[in-house]
Amino acid sequence: MTNNLIVAPAPHVQARQSTRSIMRDVLLALLPALAVSVWVFGAKVLCVTVLAVTSCVAFEYLIQRFLVRGPLTVNNLSAAVTGVLLAFNLPVTIPWWIVVIGALVAIGVAKMSFGGLGKNPFNPALVGRVFLLIAYPVQMTSFGTDAFTGATPLAAFKYAPVFAGAPLADLAVGRVAGSLGEVAALALLAGFAYLVVRRVASWHVPAVIFATMALFALCTALLRGWSGAALWQFPLFHLLAGGAMLGALFMATDYATSPMTVAGGVIYAAGIGVLTMCIRLWGAYPEGMSFAILIMNAVVPLIDKYVKPRRFGVKKQARR
> What's the rounded Cα separation, in Å, for the pair 60 and 62?
6
Maximum Cα–Cα distance for the chain, whole Å?
A: 79
CA distances from 15 to 6, 21, 184, 262 (A): 17, 11, 32, 19
- Within 10 A of 232 (CB to CB), how many other CB atoms are there? 15
Cβ atoms of residues 135 and 121 within 8 Å: no
Cβ atoms of residues 230 and 165 within 8 Å: yes
- pTM (whole model) above 0.75: yes
pLDDT score of 319:
45
**Could you list the pLDDT tens digit for every one of the 320 residues in the chain?**
555 555 555 445 555 778 899 999 999 999 999 999 999 899 999 999 999 999 999 999 999 999 887 788 889 999 999 999 999 999 999 999 999 999 999 999 999 999 888 899 999 999 999 999 999 999 998 876 655 555 678 887 777 656 665 678 888 887 787 899 988 889 999 999 999 999 999 999 999 999 999 999 999 999 988 888 788 889 999 999 889 999 999 999 998 999 999 999 999 999 999 999 999 999 988 899 999 999 999 999 999 999 987 666 556 554 44
CATH number of 19-306: 1.10.3430
> What's the rounded Cα separation, in Å, for the pair 266 and 42?
38
In this predicted model, what pLDDT tens digit does every residue of 280-291 receive, in sequence order? 999 988 899 999
- What ranges do the domains of the chain cover? 19-306
In this predicted model, what pLDDT tens digit does every residue of 14-26 receive, in sequence order? 557 788 999 999 9
